[in-house]
Amino acid sequence: MEIQFSPTRPAADTLVFVVPKGGFDTLPLAAAPVLAAGASASRFVGETGSSFESFVEEGGRTVRVLLLGVGAKADQDYEKAGAALTAKLATSGAIHAAVEFFGGASADQAAALAFGARLRGWRIDTYRTRQSEKAKPTLQTLTLVAAGADAAWERQAAVAAGVAFTRELVSEPANILYPESFVERCRPLEAMGVKITVLDKAAMEQLGMGALLGVAQGSPREARLLAMEWDGTGGLADKPVVFVGKGVTFDTGGISIKPAAGMEDMKWDMGGAGAVAGAMMAIAGRKAKARVVGICGLVENMPDGNAQRPGDIVTSMSGQTIEVLNTDAEGRLVLCDALTWAQRTYNPEVIVDLATLTGAMIVSLGNEYGGLFSNDDALAADLTAAGQAVGDQLWRFPLSAAYDKLIDSPIADMKNIGPRYAGSITAAQFLKRFIEDGVKWAHLDIAGMVWADKPGGTWDKGATGYGVRLLDRLVADRFEK
C-alpha cells in the first residue's frame, strides 16, 4: 500500500473523514445530513478506532464514505485510528482512500495515522498460492490531505520498515530462516550505512564460546554471531549502546525435547534477534544521531546424535562453567556468550538484551507486557517510559542475590536452570553473572510478545514486531546527541 500526502483531496473511490470524539458539525459533501443522521443512528461519536461506513452519490458517482473516530486527538489515538482504517478497508474492495481531518491535524498527527495504517497493513503472503478474491488485499493507495507532514512521515516510515523487517524474520519458517540465512537477510543494512561483522563457528571456537556452540552442536546448521554497527555521531560517541538478541531460529528443546503439539511455534524463538535487527534498520533508516550496536546470537537447537546432553558441562567465553541440566533452557546459553563478546568488543556503558526466554514469563504476564530486569534503576525507568510511549509495554521484576542459590551447581559454577518456581527470575540471575562491573544492563524477557494468536491494535494475527519501537524510542529519548 502506497502512502502519500496532498494539500487537496484527490479523486478517490473512498473518502475518509477523521472525526474527534464528540462528533462533527458538517462535512464537505452534498449528502452530509444523511451521513450525520446515519452516524447518529449507529451511535458513532468518534471514539478512537470506531467507524461508520456508508455509500453516497458525490460528483456524479457513487463513493464509499467512512467516518473514522480519533478520540481525544492524542498522537496514539491517530495511530490506532490509522490501524483501524487499514483493518476496515484492506480487503474491502476499496482501491484508493483519501483521508481528510475534520478540524485539521498537525503534521505529527497525520504521520501517526499513516504509521498506524502502515503497521496494520503488513501481511505475509509469500507462500500462498490460492486465495479467494475476497481475501486478497485491494487497498493500493492511501492519500492523506495534510500539508507539511512529509518530514514527520519519513521518520515514522523508517520505524515502520524496521517493524515490518522484524515481522518478516519472525514469520519465516525454519527451513527458510536459519543462522546463515538470517545473516544474509540483514546484508541490505550495509547499504544504509550499517557495518556488519559475522563470526562463524571456527571464530567462536577460538574465542571459547562453549555455551553458545553447545546449543548449536546438534544441528547441521552452523551457528553465527552477527554484529550490526550504526554510528550517526560522526565518530563523536565514545561508547555505543548495545542491544543483544537471542536468535534460536528453531528450538526443538534438544535432547530435552518439547512436546509435539505447538512445536511449530518455535520458529519465532529468534524474536529477540529479530527485534534487534528491525531496530537497527529503523535507527539507520531515520539516521539517528547515536552510536548503536545490535548483536544476534544465531543457533538452531536440534536433537541429533551429536547434540548436547543433560548433565554436560560447558565453559563459556567468560571462563565460567555451566552444568546443563535441561537442553531446552538454551537461550541463556546463547546470550551469555553473546553478552561477554559484546562487552569485551565494544566496552559499552549500557547493554540491553531481548529474548523469548521463558514460558514462566507468559504465565506471569500473559501477552500484555514483556518482563524487565535491570541492575540500574534509571535504565529500567527509561525502558519503561519508552515502552509506554509506543505501546511496547514492560513490567519490572526483581533481581536479588537471594535467587542465586537456586542456580548454584554442586560441580560447576552454575547450572542452566533452577527449580520450577521463579523461572524467569532465575534465568535473569543467570545472565546477570555475565555482566561486568560498571555496565548498566537490562534483560527483556519477551516470550509472550513477539507472536499473537489474535489481531491487536496495529498487527494482525502472527508476528507483532514487538521491541523495535521500544528500542528505537529508547535511543531517541536517551542516546541521541
For the segment 323-341, the average pLDDT, to the nearest whole number, is 98
pLDDT band at residue 33, thresholds of 50, 70 and 90? confident
pLDDT band at residue 436, thresholds of 50, 70 and 90? very high
Give percent of the chain with pLDDT exceeding 70: 100
pLDDT band at residue 47, thresholds of 50, 70 and 90? very high
Q: Which pTM value belongs to this model? A: 0.96
pLDDT band at residue 224, thresholds of 50, 70 and 90? very high
Task: Give the model's pLDDT for residue 408.
Answer: 97
Task: Give the model's pLDDT for residue 296.
Answer: 99
Ordered by where they begin, the domains of the chain are 2-148 (3.40.220.10), 157-479 (3.40.630.10)
pLDDT band at residue 103, thresholds of 50, 70 and 90? confident
Task: Give the model's pLDDT for residue 121.
Answer: 96
For the segment 63-73, the average pLDDT, to the nearest whole number, is 94
CB of 326 within 8 A of CB of 415? Answer: no
For the segment 298-310, the average pLDDT, to the nearest whole number, is 98
SS3 of 421, please? coil
pLDDT at 481 over 80: no
Helix axis angle for 331-346 and 423-432, nearest 10°, is: 30
pLDDT at 22 over 90: no
For the segment 379-384, the average pLDDT, to the nearest whole number, is 98
Task: Give the model's pLDDT for residue 343.
Answer: 98
What's the CA gap between 450 and 468, in Å, rounded?
11
pLDDT at 25 over 80: no
CB of 71 within 8 A of CB of 46? Answer: yes
Task: Give the model's pLDDT for residue 230.
Answer: 98
pLDDT band at residue 295, thresholds of 50, 70 and 90? very high
For the segment 53-57, the average pLDDT, to the nearest whole number, is 91
pLDDT band at residue 24, thresholds of 50, 70 and 90? confident
CB of 480 within 8 A of CB of 414? Answer: no
Task: Give the model's pLDDT for residue 102.
Answer: 85
What's the CA gap between 393 and 413, in Å, rounded?
34
Give the residue numbers marked as catalytic: 258, 332
Residues 6 or more apart whose Cβ sits within 8 Å of residue 448: 361, 362, 365, 366, 367, 368, 369, 370
pLDDT at 348 over 90: yes
The mean pLDDT of the chain is 96
pLDDT band at residue 26, thresholds of 50, 70 and 90? confident
Neighbours of 213 (CB within 10 A): 22
